[in-house]
Chains A and B, each alone.
Chain A
Amino acid sequence: MELSLATRAVGEHTVLEVGGEVDVYTAPRLRERLLELIDGGARHVVVDLGRVDFLDSTGLGVLVGALKRLRAAGGSFALVCDKEPLLKIFRITALDQVFPLHPTVDAAIAADSTGA
């Protein structure tokens, strides 16, 4: 399945819903969208991976890039993921210790809002 991207605002958070396959071919589009959001002033970004069915190292690189950019700008970045195959990818790469990972968008926003 092709990459799908949809953005919505929840309070001061920007939620980016990603679906389909994030790989070496589609990751540049994810990078562009994240840059557009950050350049457009988004400071608290939650990326919902709930409908992602493939994620590779290129996609992970893009997500880490966004995390660093937002942290440098005094913002926050969190991921929503509850699928075991994807969670395993984060564990194996040790990126589960780099990203705030939450099972739902609500949990991600709540954790971020309490200053976690």
Chain B
Amino acid sequence: MATVKLSFSPAPVHVRTARLVGVAVARRAGVREDLLDEVRLAIGEACTRAVALHRQYGLAEPVYVEMSDGGGYTVRVVDRAPIEAGLGLAALGPDELAKESLSEDALTTGVGFALLAGFVEDLQVRPVDDGVGTEVWMSWPAGRA
């Protein structure tokens, strides 16, 4: 089982790097070519969410990403924000999305979760085992297990 670990300071500019690495490892692991766009988007959304939380709570600690290809391709994105920050998967309907009162941040968060839930069949958002924080766990079938 090969594992690639990445940690980056919580700045938007690094999210693209995480996406690129995530897709490279997925390809290497044998994830089907037509799933790679979804892998790229999902890793991007999970990292964007983590960066937003770290900035919201003023946390300078890095966001941690771990990719492994033991029996499928698995990605963990770990943030260190207080748990109450966002375990819920908010699904917004079209009426809510178009509402004047919905802030852009709230909309982006809701849409981000909708994309994660829509693109990742095997998705878990759960508290980390050690200390404070949340882990977004995602898995895709990989040809070369």
Contacts and interface: CB of A to CB of B under 8 A. Distances in A.
Interface of A: 21, 23-25, 54, 56-58, 60-62, 64-65, 67-68, 72, 85, 89, 92-95, 97-98
B108 A60 contact: yes
Contacts, number: 78
Of all A-B residue pairs in the complex, the 7 with the closest CB atoms, nearest first, are: A92-B118, A61-B108, A57-B112, A97-B94, A25-B12, A24-B12, A57-B111
B44 A61 contact: no
A65 B94 CA distance: 14
**Count class of interface residues, chain B:** 20 to 34
Interface of B: 12-13, 15-16, 19, 37, 40-41, 44-45, 48, 51-52, 92-94, 97-98, 100, 104-105, 107-109, 111-112, 114-115, 118-119
A54 B94 CA distance: 22
Contact of A93 (B12, B40, B118): B118
Given A24-B51, A57-B111, A62 B104 contact: yes
